[in-house]
Structure 1
Amino acid sequence: MSNQKKRNFQIEAFKHRVVMDPKYADKTWKILEHAIHEIYNHNASGLSFEELYRNAYNMVLHKFGERLYSGLVTTMTAHLKDIANSVEAAQGESFLEELNRKWNDHNRALRMIRDILMYMDRTYIPSTHKTPVHELGLNLWRENVIYSSQIRTRLLTILLEFVQRERTGEVIDRGLTRNIIKMLLDLGPSVYAQEFEAHFLRVSAEFYRVESQKFIECCDCGEYLKKAEKRLNEEIDRVNHYLDSRTEKKITNVVEKEMIEDHMLRLINMENSGLVNMLCDDKYEDLGRMYNLFHRVTEGLSKIREVMTSHIRESGKVLITDPERLKDPVEFVNRLLDEKDKYDKIINLAFNNDKSFQNALNSSFEYFINLNQRSPEYISLFVDDKLRKGLKGVSEDDVEVTLDKVMMLFRYLQEKDVFEKYYKQHLAKRLLSGKTVSDDAERSLLVKLKTECGYQFTSKLEGMFMDMKTSEDTMQGFYSSHPELGDGPTLTVQVLTTGSWPAQPSAPCNLPAEVSALCEKFRSYYLGTHTGRRLSWQTNMGSADVKATFGKGQKHELNVSTYQMCVLMLFNDADRLCYREIEQATGIPASDLKRCLQSLALVKGRNVLRKEPMSKDVAEDDSFFVNDKFSSKLYKVKIGTVVAQKESEPEKLETRQRVEEDRKPQIEAAVVRIMKSRKFLDHNNLVAEVTKQLQSRFLANPTEVKKRIESLIEREFLERDESDRRFYRYLA
């Protein structure tokens, strides 16, 4: 076996060439052509798709692909021409129904034909770069049916007519319309765009141009916006139901331009119904609609913002300068808070809490609040009113909310140091009279101010609270060391650190002998326990509780100021005193004494004294005596004093001068800080940096900054540059 010679096998070609029937291609094509006819004629149920596929397969295999492909084009074209004729013959509304029916038939036929010719689709068509069967079927439909001169114009006219009818309130067959639009899309995006979309947008623009003009002439702003919104929603709904989704942006742009953008200014400024009227009447729904519609167009929101800003500034200017409204500081601030609440609510409910609108509101408030130099004073007076009396029937949380609102107004103030000046005065009176609503509320506001402006702003205010606490401890020590004082008058002293409390003009009065003796004992005790200190009595800031017995033996405890106590004690030894005798005996300054006597003799229900002659004002020749008929349901009767109130013009000027004086060292400190770090700087940049550094406390006046720079040059902290006098150099 191993030695046996191996045989070589060889496969050779057939000796005889296979001869193909010369009529094979014609016969096979006839079979396939007949099948295509049957498919289009709805007689496909009797066909053997397996046999048809094999025939088409063999034609391609035997190099008759071109014959098969060209035969398909010819046959399909003939059928589509018949279909076109059938569609053209349809009348009225049946035109679209016939077109839709034939389109569905064509698609069904196309799927079957593609299955039969699958092998040609996979091999012959890619190698010859011809159009695939399905795409070929769509192209032929487009060329022979859609682009038929009788169908093309009629189709567009009917589709546009359907849209127009729907816009006027008629009901159309949306399902049929959707099918026809989908047919155009299936034929290619360019077919849909050219045959329908471009014409649809053009006709729509004209429709809305005419309609918007008609609406703007007969509707008010709110009604117009409702109609515009309705039209916009209708177009979006139309796209969702039967148009291409990419058309939505295009058609909404048309509606926005024709109905909103082209009429923006006219709508905003419409008389009796435009933006200003909506703002005044709190028309949240209309404002929200305007915001949402104008948001869609270029510059829409900025136009609303401009008009809103202008309106707030103008109305704020009226509010802040109206002499009637300036009479009551508390009412003045309440109106500001109401105005702020009003626009906050509008921005929140109607303008989607838009930050740009909130910023515009803030800048508007900052603008007009600072038009009135008394705004810092009035805001402090408002705080004083709330923290002195409290808010009747409300919780601490509500007090907190009110304080938060006040802090919003405080942020708008450019002269925060002026507010601080007044706030310190008002806080001092509240603390010393014990008439603050609660320590928690006071400290809460202090924390807010500290958070807003830093420790430096509140350090002296905190010192005031510290003094009050220390004074309590001091009084305990005083009475512990003087147990014999338990039976007589009781003295409570608050020792105030000079630097922390507002400077008060010292106006001592002649205290009653028993009180004066007690004061001297306290002075000895205090100076004995502290070295290097001086005490001066601020009787104008004190209060007293006085027990009084009137004509018929009725007894009351009167809560009065120290000045009022001094006046009342005089009537222990006299039945009747004239103004001059009271003035001489007490030594109280004339302006304070007149206010004191007014509150004792002229306030209904609190008039423990009587005056002759009776009049509203106290004159120097008036005389006073105890009102024996005084009665009150309460045992403890508080005799009011003139509490924190608007300053008179001279007092206002004096406060302003004190503020200006306090600013000088702050400006100088800022200049030195900046120059120390920069060493060399020009005048304009130095002024700008100083202004920026101080803006949390006040708006520095450039002229004053220049004066302070000159003063620093004189004192050799700075020098001018020799080559360019606009520059300053820091002298170390």
Structure 2
Amino acid sequence: MIPSGSRRSKIRPPRKSLVSSSLDGSNSDPTVDFEKSWSILSSAITQIQSKNVSNLSYEQLYRKAYVLVLRKYGAKLYDNVASLITHHLLVRRDHLLAISDHEDFMKAVILEWDEHLQSMKFVSDVLMYLNRVYVKEHKKLLIYDLGIELFKDNVIKHNHDEVGRKIVDIVIQEITRNRKGEVITTTMYITKLINMLELLVESAGTDIQYGENYFQTMFEPTFLQNSETFFYNLSQEFVNYNLGSRYIREAGQFIKEEESRINFYLPSSTYPKLIDLMNNIIIKDKIDDIISLPYEQQGLSYWLQPVLGNIFDDRQSTHHLAELRILYELIGRFDSEYQLLRLRLKENIIAQGIQLPEFVKTSLQNAGEKKTATNSTAFATKWIDTVLRYREQIMKLSAEAFASNPIVEQTITYAMRDFINGSGTNRKNNISVNAPELLSVYMDYYIKQLGKPSPSKDISTSSSDSTDVFVNRSIQFLRYIKDKDAFEANYANHFAKRFLNSKGASQTINANNKLGVDLEELILSKLGEEMGTTSLDKIIKMNKDIKSSKDTTAEYKKHISKNQKQNLVDLELKICNVTDWPKSMTKDYKSFSKSDTGEVSFLWPKQLRNTIREFEEFWFSGKKNDNKSLYWSPKFGSIDMRITYPSRTYEINMSTYAGIIMLLFAPQSSNADGTMVSAFDEQKELTYDEIQELTGIPEADLKRHLQSIAVAPRSRLLIKKPMTKEVNNTDVFKLNENFKSPSIKVKVLTVSASSSAAPSKAKQKTEQEEEAEEVQSNIAEGRKLEVNAAIVRIMKSRHTVRHNKLIEELIKQLANRFQPSIILIKQRIEDLIEKEYLKRDDDDKNTYHYVA
């Protein structure tokens, strides 16, 4: 019995007695000696190939081969062995080609290969000495490797790769069947055949370990070409569905199955080639078209629709997370930066974002809201809350579908910033929004609500501290605003109006929140952390005036109490340094005092004159305010007045103008016992012209406040004849005896300037429009100063800068404040050249030099 062996077995030479005996009869013919020995060896090899080795003697066969090599018949023995194996393989090849069934053919090839390798192990053991001496000296292939080479040449590649091509075609057909969803039973055969093809290496001299194998030269190119055609046809089939969701799902499922399939079949060198091919054809070449499909064909706009729909619809739609997850995975297969996804995601978010103003307006109208203008409080609060809810939805989707990828979330942030700021115009419906102004309106509204005894229900929160929710949401939205200087200007305007129109000197957070912490202080500190205290310089100075006013009020009251002054009106003072406060509120502050000619256009009621005179004496006492001027402005603030109507006595809060008008109807005469006659007994009536003459209130303001106290149904303190909405010069006013209110405390709200404007003057600018223009003017002036300062800083540090570099550095420095236009930059450069802060180079006009 011949023991099994391989080309790696250790060679053990025969005993000397064996050698000696083999050399007996040295006079015999060498040719006869070889033929006899070869006859025995060839017969043994044939029996090995026939799997009949039970009667063979390993020692005898080894000795025969050993002697032949020793007698220099190594070459002839090597060639004869090769010829014998070749003949056998050619016979077996014909047997294989006679098999028509694919599975039977695959099975037969594998069996033939396995048996051939087994027989070559036995033959290698018999010819071990041949391998050691002749093969090594003449740099031939080892017998085992020769067998593999002969199998490749005489079975696989013979007759123009007849068997090889059949193997390749059958394996590819079986894989194709499996790709199409058929269940195949030849999986193990495919794997074994591919392993076999990998072992059929093109030999290089004595080494069969290296070089290209049959799999690489024949199978792989054919398989990749076939796969390319299959992938293209499959992707076209998916495209023909005309449904993005189906394409995404089917492509994702196929790719997952293909990866599992080829990972089992193919070697590691081919796997990435096929993956790249599949990614390019099925994903890279088609995915942009799929993403860009219209809503009806379920592209990205369809998958993102629930993000927008769920904000306004109580019936929450299910997010298309499955499709978006697959999309994210598919794009990630060929682009780790997700550039295409980010580009299309940004486009869709902007497209959805510019729809929000129209949705908000429609929602307000459906809710019965009358004020739906884009600068109204209702619109501002609704729009900002909607944008923030949209952000919550899209970020939640990003976490679940895009694995909270930072670069994707950064794209979402940029997209939201674009539609909130620059791309926030819906051209179809001509709806535009001013984000900095609307955020200021939003914050103004909620600060007022939080300053009330019970907080507004508009701020939803699971915690008891609604202030934190409001502040966090405001700061969150502020981060999306590009023109933070515009927000600062609008916030300063609202900040001033809150103070000037508030009942007290400051507002404090109610007991449900942080007791004792000033609300404005809290907001300012948060804004300072976000924007920097330098940018809030004016508001901080205004806030100092508020604190100073509170201290001055306390000192004045202490002074009155100490000096026991009687019959004075209780004052809550609001003293503003006009240089720090918005010009729209301080521009006409001198018009309420004596002019240079001594004329007085505005008349304070006699009930207030003693109080005014007393405070002025206090203000200038001790020379502490000698270098300051004091002007009284009745256009802001409010008056608390106790009025006894026939029904009951009411405590009424109204604007200063409205209070001055009501004081005209106060009782003027007294009874015999010294008590004042009731104002209702006096039956005083005043015409519009008489009221204007007695007060000097500007016409527009007078009509507004008369509408507030004589026309508005809930606060009709006066009766107007005739009772019409418009106030005319011939109208007559008197106290309303029938005034009633369910509450003792009544607050008179002042009608807006736009609603009080007469039709004939509709084209005139309202107070709000003038105020808005003033704010815009302040923003423009502030930007000029900031650009000038930035240019000087850059020039001072660089001394010499080219035009384009200066613009680049300037935009970079001002990015956190606003985006300066090129026109503005050029104007500021010319201005600074004129002022001799810098100059142009004599030879190069695009180069500037700093003038120290």
**Shorter-chain TM-score above 0.5:** yes
**Is this contact kept in 1: 2:191–2:264, CA < 8 A?**
yes
Match of 1:275 in 2: 300
**Is this contact kept in 1: 2:444–2:494, CA < 8 A?**
yes
Q: Which amino acid aligns with 2:534?
A: Q
Structure 2 residue ranges without an equivalent (≥5)? 1-19, 25-29, 202-211, 308-319, 362-371, 427-431, 451-457, 593-601, 668-678, 755-765
Match of 2:422 in 1: 367
1:104-125 Cα distance to aligned partner (Å, 9 max, x none): 3333444455556566656654
**Is this contact kept in 1: 2:475–2:527, CA < 8 A?**
no
Match of 1:450 among 514, 522, 528: 528
Match of 2:492 in 1: 424
Secondary structure of 1:540 counterpart: coil
Q: Which amino acid aligns with 2:323?
A: D
Change (3 A) 1:638 1:60: farther
Match of 1:404 in 2: 475
Match of 1:5 in 2: none
Secondary structure of 1:539 counterpart: coil
* 2:439 is the alignment partner of 1:385: no
Match of 1:630 in 2: 740
Secondary structure of 2:422 counterpart: helix
Match of 1:536 among 601, 613, 631: 631
| Higher mean displacement: 169-178 or 378-387 | 378-387
CA distance in structure 2 between the partners assigned to 1:184 and 1:711 by the alignment: 81
Q: Which amino acid aligns with 1:326?
A: T
1:417-444 Cα distance to aligned partner (Å, 9 max, x none): 3322111011223345245767676556
**Is this contact kept in 1: 2:99–2:105, CA < 8 A?**
yes
| Higher mean displacement: 296-305 or 619-628 | 296-305
CA distance in structure 2 between the partners assigned to 1:138 and 1:319 by the alignment: 73
1:241-299 Cα distance to aligned partner (Å, 9 max, x none): 32334333333333344434444554344342233444445544434434443454589
* 2:657 is the alignment partner of 1:563: yes
Secondary structure of 2:776 counterpart: helix
Cα drift, residue 171 of structure 1: 0.5
Change (3 A) 1:260 1:708: closer
CA distance in structure 1 between the partners assigned to 2:22 and 2:546 by the alignment: 126
Q: Which amino acid aligns with 1:420?
A: E
1:556-575 Cα distance to aligned partner (Å, 9 max, x none): 44343333333444443244
Cα drift, residue 166 of structure 1: 1.7
CA distance in structure 2 between the partners assigned to 1:494 and 1:222 by the alignment: 64
Cα drift, residue 195 of structure 1: 3.5
1:534-567 Cα distance to aligned partner (Å, 9 max, x none): 33334333234444444322x5443433333334
Change (3 A) 1:291 1:488: same
* 2:554 is the alignment partner of 1:476: yes
**Is this contact kept in 1: 2:345–2:412, CA < 8 A?**
no
1:31-51 Cα distance to aligned partner (Å, 9 max, x none): 665655554444556767688
Q: Any residues of structure 2 matched to 1:595-606 within 5 Å, and which?
A: 595-603=704-712, 605-606=714-715
CA distance in structure 1 between the partners assigned to 2:152 and 2:274 by the alignment: 25
Secondary structure of 2:535 counterpart: helix
Cα drift, residue 239 of structure 1: 0.4
> What's the TM-score, normalizing by structure 2?
0.72
RMSD: 4.2
**Is this contact kept in 1: 2:354–2:425, CA < 8 A?**
no
Match of 2:541 in 1: 463
CA distance in structure 1 between the partners assigned to 2:642 and 2:123 by the alignment: 117
| Higher mean displacement: 429-438 or 652-661 | 429-438
Match of 1:87 among 93, 96, 101: 96
How many residues matched? 711
| Higher mean displacement: 639-648 or 236-245 | 639-648
CA distance in structure 1 between the partners assigned to 2:797 and 2:263 by the alignment: 65
Match of 1:496 in 2: 576
Match of 1:172 in 2: 184
Match of 2:618 among 525, 532, 538: 525
Match of 1:156 among 148, 168, 175: 168
Secondary structure of 2:735 counterpart: strand
Match of 2:23 among 20, 23, 35: 20
Match of 2:597 in 1: none
Change (3 A) 1:84 1:533: same
Q: Which amino acid aligns with 1:98?
A: A
Secondary structure of 2:479 counterpart: helix
CA distance in structure 2 between the partners assigned to 1:50 and 1:18 by the alignment: 14
| Higher mean displacement: 146-155 or 97-106 | 146-155
Q: Which amino acid aligns with 1:456?
A: T
CA distance in structure 2 between the partners assigned to 1:499 and 1:122 by the alignment: 107
**Is this contact kept in 2: 1:160–1:200, CA < 8 A?**
yes
CA distance in structure 1 between the partners assigned to 2:120 and 2:750 by the alignment: 102
Change (3 A) 1:302 1:79: same
Structure 1 residue ranges without an equivalent (≥5)? 1-16
CA distance in structure 2 between the partners assigned to 1:647 and 1:69 by the alignment: 112
CA distance in structure 2 between the partners assigned to 1:487 and 1:114 by the alignment: 130
Match of 1:228 in 2: 251
Cα drift, residue 516 of structure 1: 4.5
Secondary structure of 1:560 counterpart: strand
Q: Which amino acid aligns with 1:179?
A: K
CA distance in structure 2 between the partners assigned to 1:287 and 1:402 by the alignment: 28
Change (3 A) 1:325 1:654: closer
CA distance in structure 1 between the partners assigned to 2:666 and 2:152 by the alignment: 118
The share of aligned pairs that are identical, in percent, is: 31
Match of 1:376 among 436, 461, 467: 436
Secondary structure of 2:146 counterpart: helix
Change (3 A) 1:154 1:491: same
Cα drift, residue 473 of structure 1: 3.4
**Is this contact kept in 2: 1:556–1:637, CA < 8 A?**
yes
1:616-641 Cα distance to aligned partner (Å, 9 max, x none): 44444252533644222x55444334
Q: Any residues of structure 2 matched to 1:159-238 within 5 Å, and which?
A: 159-173=171-185, 174-188=187-201, 190-238=213-261
Cα drift, residue 155 of structure 1: 2.0
CA distance in structure 2 between the partners assigned to 1:367 and 1:672 by the alignment: 29
CA distance in structure 2 between the partners assigned to 1:707 and 1:665 by the alignment: 12
Q: Any residues of structure 2 matched to 1:285-296 within 5 Å, and which?
A: 285-296=322-333
Change (3 A) 1:594 1:41: farther
Change (3 A) 1:177 1:392: same
Q: Which amino acid aligns with 2:488?
A: E
**Is this contact kept in 2: 1:599–1:607, CA < 8 A?**
yes
Q: Which amino acid aligns with 2:772?
A: K
Match of 1:657 in 2: 777
> What's the TM-score, normalizing by structure 1?
0.82
CA distance in structure 2 between the partners assigned to 1:203 and 1:668 by the alignment: 67
Q: Any residues of structure 2 matched to 1:108-147 within 5 Å, and which?
A: 108-114=118-124, 125-147=135-157
Cα drift, residue 689 of structure 1: 4.5
Secondary structure of 2:227 counterpart: helix
Secondary structure of 1:623 counterpart: strand
**Is this contact kept in 2: 1:579–1:624, CA < 8 A?**
no
**Is this contact kept in 2: 1:239–1:247, CA < 8 A?**
no
Q: Any residues of structure 2 matched to 1:315-394 within 5 Å, and which?
A: 326=374, 328=376, 329-330=379-380, 331-337=382-388, 344=395, 349-351=400-402, 353=405, 354-355=407-408, 357-358=411-412, 361=415, 364-365=418-419, 366-369=421-424, 374-390=434-450, 391-394=458-461
1:470-491 Cα distance to aligned partner (Å, 9 max, x none): 4333333333343347997532
| Higher mean displacement: 643-652 or 443-452 | 643-652
